[in-house]
Amino acid sequence: SYELTQPPSVSVSPGQTARITCSREKLGDLYVCWYQQKPGQSPVLVIYQDTKRPSGIPERFSGSNSGNTATLTISGTQAMDEADYYCQAWDSNTGLFGGGTKLTVL
């Protein structure tokens, strides 16, 4: 089981906004990262410290974290954004990952 809870799947139409959630009690007290993983590839960091984008990550990726839920938002979703997305946090000297969300762009 995973200590961070994500929906297994999210579907979105091209050009629409996709929202992927990550939940845990008092998650807002921790910093959350988000990773994108495409089939056969290694994960890529797309959001860190809840809201920050690494260099080279498109502006359509954004993040938020408050209360018990962190959210990855992809605005104007493109076909190339179809992938698995994982949230991550650090707590009590342990790394935590969510179970992953498969984003389908229909």
- Which of 29, 34, 16 has the alpha carbon at shortest distance from 100? 34
- Which of 21, 26, 45 has the alpha carbon at shortest distance from 34? 45
Q: Does residue 98 bind another protein (CB under 8 A)?
A: yes
What's the length of the chain?
106
Bridge partners, residue 88, by sequence: 33, 97
Cβ 42 to another protein, closest distance in Å? Answer: 4
User: Residues 7 to 36: which contact another protein by CB under 8 A?
Assistant: 30-31, 33, 35
CA dist 30 and 46 (Å) reads 17
Residue with tokens 């200590």: 3
**Site size with another protein, rule: CB under 8 A:** 24
Q: Does residue 99 bind another protein (CB under 8 A)?
A: yes
Q: Which is nearer to another protein, 40 or 79 (CB)?
A: 40
Q: Among 54, 58, 67, 76, which residue sits at the site for another protein (rule: CB under 8 A)?
A: 54
Question: In this structure, what token pair is assigned to residue 40?
Answer: 């056969």
Q: Does residue 57 bind another protein (CB under 8 A)?
A: no
User: Which spans of this chain sit near another protein (rule: CB under 8 A)?
Assistant: 2, 30-31, 33, 35, 37, 42-45, 48, 54, 84, 86, 88, 90, 93-100
